[in-house]
Chains A and B, each alone.
Chain A
Amino acid sequence: MTDGKLTSLPDHADEAPGGCGLDRRDFLGAGVAAVATALTGCGTLSKEEFLQHNFRELSKEEVLSVIARLEKEYKAKYGKDVKVGTTPPMPGVIFGYALDLSRCIGCRRCVHACVKENNQSRTPEVQWIRVLELDKEEGVNLQHAEQYYNPDEVPREGHFYMPVQCQQCKKPPCVKVCPVGATWREKDGIVVVDYNWCIGCRYCMAACPYGARHFNWGEPNLPPDQVNTETHYLGNRPRPKGVVEKCTFCVQRTRKGLYPACVEICPTGSRKFGNLLDKESEIRYVLENKRVFKLKEELNTQPNFFYFYGV
């Protein structure tokens, strides 16, 4: 508690809706929040943040006040107007993804476009997409995967590349194990995390067979000039330290009809994305006309992410 940062305790109790001052409950809440602030060790926990409930339990008014609070916090922190959206799933849409292993050259442009789009911590850099370099002789054998390949030019002779990110499972083991219901599958098939509800136990990381979940081990380091201001509450808004995050198929983009950043950047067209319920979609064309497989199919997680050999 010697940290000077702890001494400032922005308690916004006076701005509570109704503004009728501190009643006993508020006062108790503020006291508990102060203890909790000491526990975060960062000294920026407001009473509202401390008492905020699970996102799925918030009323419309509560959501609005949470969003207003977050936008104010981000403004203070980054000096930018960060827009925190809450766009709900579109009816009649379940997102699917397909990745062409015969086209991917392992250039990792998707990895970096993702980091930029989704406001990940830069140092240490959190990457939601991990590209595996695999031996052609071994096929998809993860025990022969190399993530830290670094040649001057890709693809390397005798190798092929397999990017892995959240597979947006229909039966997500991460959701099942979360002790507090801080992560769930939305109606459009996207598995999301409420960064304000996650307790950071990392059980979901142990449960995920794809290494798709990442933890903010330290305070996320996001330089203000690199902040993407178009965000979603359940997606790419800046995260606090001590919580888990993951790929959301760029929920802030895809729910507005845009492609995920990784699809858009891919120079080889290896990445296909669309609505699984739309018979005319490209993703349905791939599923019907190519031979696809799912990673670790035997675990019955039923991903909505498919791999295929296009040529």
Chain B
Amino acid sequence: MLRNFRQFITDTIQIVTHGSKYYYAWVGFLLLLIAIGTGAYIGQLNEGLIVTKMRDQVSWGFYIGNFTFLVGVAAAAIMLVIPAYIYDWEPIKEITILGEMLAISALVMCLGFVMVDIGRPDRFWHIMPLVGRLNWPQSMLAWDVLVLNAYLVLNYFVVTYLLYCAYTERHYVKKIVTPLVLLSIPMAVSIHTVTAYLYNGLGARPFWNSAILAPRFLASAFCSGPAILLILLQVLRKTTKLSIKDEAIFKIAELMAYTMGFNLFLTAAESFKELYSGTEHVVYFQYLLFGLKGHNTLVPYAWASIIFGFIAFILFLVPKFRTNWKLLNLGCVLIYASVYIEKGMGLIIPGLTPDALGEIYVYTPSFTEIAVAAGIFAIGFLVFTIMLKAAVPMMLGEFTISKGRRSAEAEPGTEPVQAH
């Protein structure tokens, strides 16, 4: 058993270090981005967070915005499991493992964004349970640390176990996998809910202190997470022998239409409440949607997010559109962009602007912030690429303990193969 596992590890390393020239080029590109990000981060460590554009007035920015968005991606990737298990719908069940790998990559990026945002990364151990002094259950950030890490471990275990079973040509034990996969569903909901509560619980920030913040988080995550998966599934069935049926993709697209509609409805409900009642809290919405006192940096992004979200909703709602590959992919890109704005900068910045004393500090990320963020995204993509590289031949049964490396090398994994 242990020997098999060791061989599983060494063979996996073997498989991810050998590939086509496209694979090397892609990995090389990611490594380059990681190098740039690392360089920028070293500069930030030496100078302090002063190299960012964050200041006391806007004390969170691009890093935490990306963190929030990616928690949504991590959560939504797993929520695809819900229809698969509730309706026992095989076409989606097959792609559960892909969702889990996407969740792992997103979580790695989440933790990366938190790590680069803190002023004293050398004190990371203070936040570790038992070793440090975790302010639990009071602090929502303490909760977030716990649920994010638990979710990461859970997904990592399930993926490793499933692949190991495939590799050793055994059938996985259903009694182990099914409860864990079912557990991952409420956990996916919980990571995004806790992340919403992190902002939601602050009376000082009326823009976040709204009861529908957590539902909005979930609704938007249900849009952006599957959008990434839809594109990914199409890439995978073009570049590998993995067969993914059209109906699986269209089913996901149909489900997305409902969540997009719901997401737009919640956004409208929130906007109506703020704009119509027009209390003193309206200033944050004004800053986001119309600009305030001549400052309108966010305005074009905010409207782009709303318009993109609406167009994507129409594209996904009409069956004729969503079964047209071009329109479907356009819709995916639009909804992704829409949620990226809404749950990133569109959430963090107006939450903090005007600041607690009414000051407007116009925040735009610095070069360092963009370079570090690019590095973290590259790490996430690299993790995902490596996992896919090993997982796809294992899932296809091409790469197992008995067939070994030879068959995997014979399969370059880049020639377009028909899905059916």
The answer to whether B55 has its CB under 8 Å from any CB of chain A is yes
Which chain A residue has the least Cβ–Cβ distance from B114?
A201
Chain B residues positioned under 8 Å from A28 (CB to CB): none
Chain A's nearest CB lies how many Å from the CB of B41?
9
Chain B residues positioned under 8 Å from A63 (CB to CB): none
Chain B's nearest CB lies how many Å from the CB of A244?
8
Q: A142 near B358 (CB under 8 angstroms)?
A: yes
Chain B residues positioned under 8 Å from A41 (CB to CB): 42, 44-47
Complex alpha-carbon distance, A38 and B55, angstroms: 24
Complex alpha-carbon distance, A40 and B124, angstroms: 11
Chain B's nearest CB lies how many Å from the CB of A146?
9
Q: B201 near A143 (CB under 8 angstroms)?
A: no
Chain B's nearest CB lies how many Å from the CB of A299?
5
The answer to whether A214 has its CB under 8 Å from any CB of chain B is yes
Chain B residues positioned under 8 Å from A241 (CB to CB): 48, 119
The answer to whether B299 has its CB under 8 Å from any CB of chain A is no
Which of B47, B120, B139: most chain A CB closer than 10 A?
B120
Q: A182 near B357 (CB under 8 angstroms)?
A: no
Chain A's nearest CB lies how many Å from the CB of B187?
20
Q: B124 near A179 (CB under 8 angstroms)?
A: no
Chain A residues positioned under 8 Å from B202 (CB to CB): 173, 177, 206-207
Complex alpha-carbon distance, A124 and B55, angstroms: 11
The answer to whether B283 has its CB under 8 Å from any CB of chain A is yes
Chain B residues positioned under 8 Å from A177 (CB to CB): 138-141, 201-202
Chain A residues positioned under 8 Å from B138 (CB to CB): 176-177
Complex alpha-carbon distance, A242 and B49, angstroms: 7
What's the dominant secondary structure at chain A's contact region?
loop
Q: B133 near A243 (CB under 8 angstroms)?
A: no
Residues 138-190 of B contacting A (Cβ, < 8 Å): 138-142, 145
The answer to whether B253 has its CB under 8 Å from any CB of chain A is no
Q: A197 near B49 (CB under 8 angstroms)?
A: no
Complex alpha-carbon distance, A176 and B137, angstroms: 10
CB-contact partner of B120 in A54, A130, A206, A243, under 8 A: A243
Complex alpha-carbon distance, A236 and B401, angstroms: 64
Q: Mark B37-64, 1 if CB is under 8 A from A, else 0.
A: 0000010111111101011110110000
CB-contact partner of B123 in A42, A132, A199, under 8 A: A199
Q: B139 near A176 (CB under 8 angstroms)?
A: yes
The answer to whether A39 has its CB under 8 Å from any CB of chain B is yes
Complex alpha-carbon distance, A42 and B138, angstroms: 32
Complex alpha-carbon distance, A240 and B49, angstroms: 13
Chain B residues positioned under 8 Å from A240 (CB to CB): 120
Complex alpha-carbon distance, A216 and B59, angstroms: 11
Chain A residues positioned under 8 Å from B352 (CB to CB): 206
Q: A299 near B203 (CB under 8 angstroms)?
A: yes
The answer to whether B7 has its CB under 8 Å from any CB of chain A is no
CB-contact partner of A216 in B52, B114, B119, B133, under 8 A: B119
Which chain B residue has the least Cβ–Cβ distance from A217?
B50
Known contacts: A179-B145, A206-B60, A210-B357. The answer to whether A242 contacts B135 by CB under 8 A is no
Chain B residues positioned under 8 Å from A179 (CB to CB): 127, 134-135, 139, 141-142, 145
Complex alpha-carbon distance, A218 and B49, angstroms: 6
The answer to whether B121 has its CB under 8 Å from any CB of chain A is yes
Chain A residues positioned under 8 Å from B118 (CB to CB): 199-201, 242
CB-contact partner of B354 in A143, A181, A202, under 8 A: A143
Q: A209 near B135 (CB under 8 angstroms)?
A: no
Chain A residues positioned under 8 Å from B48 (CB to CB): 216-219, 241-242
The answer to whether A211 has its CB under 8 Å from any CB of chain B is yes
Chain A residues positioned under 8 Å from B351 (CB to CB): 206
Q: Mark A44-67, 1 if CB is under 8 A from B, else 0.
A: 010000100110010000000000
Q: A205 near B59 (CB under 8 angstroms)?
A: yes
The answer to whether B274 has its CB under 8 Å from any CB of chain A is no
CB-contact partner of B122 in A3, A39, A132, under 8 A: A39
Chain B residues positioned under 8 Å from A197 (CB to CB): 123, 126, 133
The answer to whether B359 has its CB under 8 Å from any CB of chain A is yes
Q: A1 near B357 (CB under 8 angstroms)?
A: no
Chain A's nearest CB lies how many Å from the CB of B68?
13
Complex alpha-carbon distance, A242 and B46, angstroms: 11
Chain B's nearest CB lies how many Å from the CB of A254?
25
Q: A199 near B124 (CB under 8 angstroms)?
A: yes
The answer to whether A180 has its CB under 8 Å from any CB of chain B is yes
Complex alpha-carbon distance, A37 and B121, angstroms: 10
The answer to whether A144 has its CB under 8 Å from any CB of chain B is yes
Known contacts: A41-B46, A197-B123, A211-B56. The answer to whether A203 contacts B357 by CB under 8 A is no
Q: Mark A1-29, 1 if CB is under 8 A from B, else 0.
A: 11100000000000000000000000000
Chain A residues positioned under 8 Å from B127 (CB to CB): 179-180, 199
Which chain B residue has the least Cβ–Cβ distance from A177?
B139
Complex alpha-carbon distance, A145 and B280, angstroms: 14
The answer to whether A250 has its CB under 8 Å from any CB of chain B is no
The answer to whether A286 has its CB under 8 Å from any CB of chain B is no
Chain B's nearest CB lies how many Å from the CB of A166?
12
Which of A54, A203, A241: most chain B CB closer than 10 A?
A203
CB-contact partner of B117 in A53, A178, A201, under 8 A: A201
Complex alpha-carbon distance, A244 and B122, angstroms: 15
Chain A residues positioned under 8 Å from B278 (CB to CB): none
Complex alpha-carbon distance, A115 and B73, angstroms: 45
CB-contact partner of A215 in B59, B114, B142, B283, under 8 A: B59
Task: Please list 6 pairs of residues, one from A and one from B, whose beta carbons are closer than 8 Å in the complex, sorted by A's number.
Answer: A143-B283, A173-B203, A177-B202, A206-B205, A213-B56, A217-B49
14 further contact pairs, Cβ within 8 A, besides A199-B124, A213-B56, A218-B50: A36-B123, A37-B122, A142-B358, A180-B127, A180-B134, A200-B123, A201-B119, A202-B117, A203-B139, A209-B203, A215-B119, A218-B47, A219-B48, A243-B119
Binding site for A on B (CB under 8 A): 42, 44-50, 52, 54-57, 59-60, 114, 117-124, 126-127, 132-135, 138-142, 145, 198-199, 201-205, 280, 283, 351-352, 354-359
